[in-house]
Chain A
Amino acid sequence: QQPVQSPQAVILREGEDAVINCSSSKALYSVHWYRQKHGEAPVFLMILLKGGEQKGHEKISASFNEKKQQSSLYLTASQLSYSGTYFCGTEPGAGRRALTFGSGTRLQVQP
């Protein structure tokens, strides 16, 4: 079952912060986050594994609440280069060993 992402879209000014949420109805093994710019392929940002800690990548970090099957992506002090569509992908704790992606959150950072 597809994870639910929120919000569907967000517009920011440079320097503002944003949070993107991803929620699943299934127990999860891991959550992946990818960013896709228009007309390009998705690019890996980070993985959060069951039992793992919060991960960070410069001004982009994420958390994973295993009990609630939820993950959040935090973008701080946003830059123009952060614009794109963000997808979470979830791996279940059991069953098919592959990702199911959410429908995406479109992020636009304006000057």
Chain B
Amino acid sequence: NAGVTQTPKFQVLKTGQSMTLQCAQDMNHNSMYWYRQDPGMGLRLIYYSASEGTTDKGEVPNGYNVSRLNKREFSLRLESAAPSQTSVYFCASSGKIDPRGGEQYFGPGTRLTVT
């Protein structure tokens, strides 16, 4: 059981470039989440998916798009990277059908730098 996996672990982009962060979970969880964490800060929700086929905006969705490809995979795309998007990105999943009250399991994170 790998849990939640994320690729890549590290990435450096130039302003204006695009990229997709990949996330997969093997726990048969229904809900998946993308967060960003800036230095010394808490986690801020970018997008989440309560079930396969649905996605919803979180606190900071601007500049990002997501795809819930299937039950296992949830990707995050930066169409035109900006220095303000330099951050550590965490993917998480939760097993409950109703996302309320479900403990979240986090992936190892992707450290993204935009120059």
Bound state CA distance, A2 and B41, in angstroms?
Answer: 12
**B43 contacts chain A at the CB level, 8 A cutoff:** yes
Closest to B45 in A: A98
Find out whether the CB atom of B56 lies under 8 angstroms from the CB atom of A96: yes
What's the Cα separation between A42 and B107 when bound, in Å? 9
Contact A98 B90 (CB under 8 A): no
Closest CB of chain B to A104's CB: distance in Å? 5
A29-B100, A97-B99 known; A2+B106 contact, CB < 8 A: no
**Interface residue SS majority, chain B:** loop
B8 within 8 A of partner (CB) = no
The answer to whether A99 and B101 have CB atoms under 8 Å apart is no
Residue positions of A touching B, CB distance < 8 A: 2, 29-30, 32, 34, 40-44, 47, 49, 87, 89, 91, 96-104
The reply to whether A41 and B50 contact each other, CB–CB distance below 8 Å, is: no
Q: Is the interface of A mostly helix, strand, loop or mixed?
A: strand
In the complex the two chains form, is B48's CB within 8 Å of A98's CB? yes
In Å, the complex CA distance between A49 and B100 comes to: 9
- A2 near B103: Cβ-Cβ < 8 Å: no
B41 contacts which chain A residues (CB < 8 A)? 103-104
Size class of the B contact interface (CB-based, 8 Å): 20 to 34
Contact of A42 among B58, B90, B98 (CB under 8 A): B90
Binary contact track B23-34/A, C-beta < 8 Å → 1, others 0: 000000000010
Q: Does the CB pair B58–A44 fall under 8 Å?
A: no
20 contacts between A and B (CB under 8 A): A29-B100, A30-B101, A41-B109, A42-B43, A42-B90, A44-B103, A44-B105, A47-B101, A89-B104, A91-B100, A96-B58, A98-B48, A98-B56, A98-B58, A100-B59, A101-B42, A101-B43, A102-B42, A103-B41, A104-B41
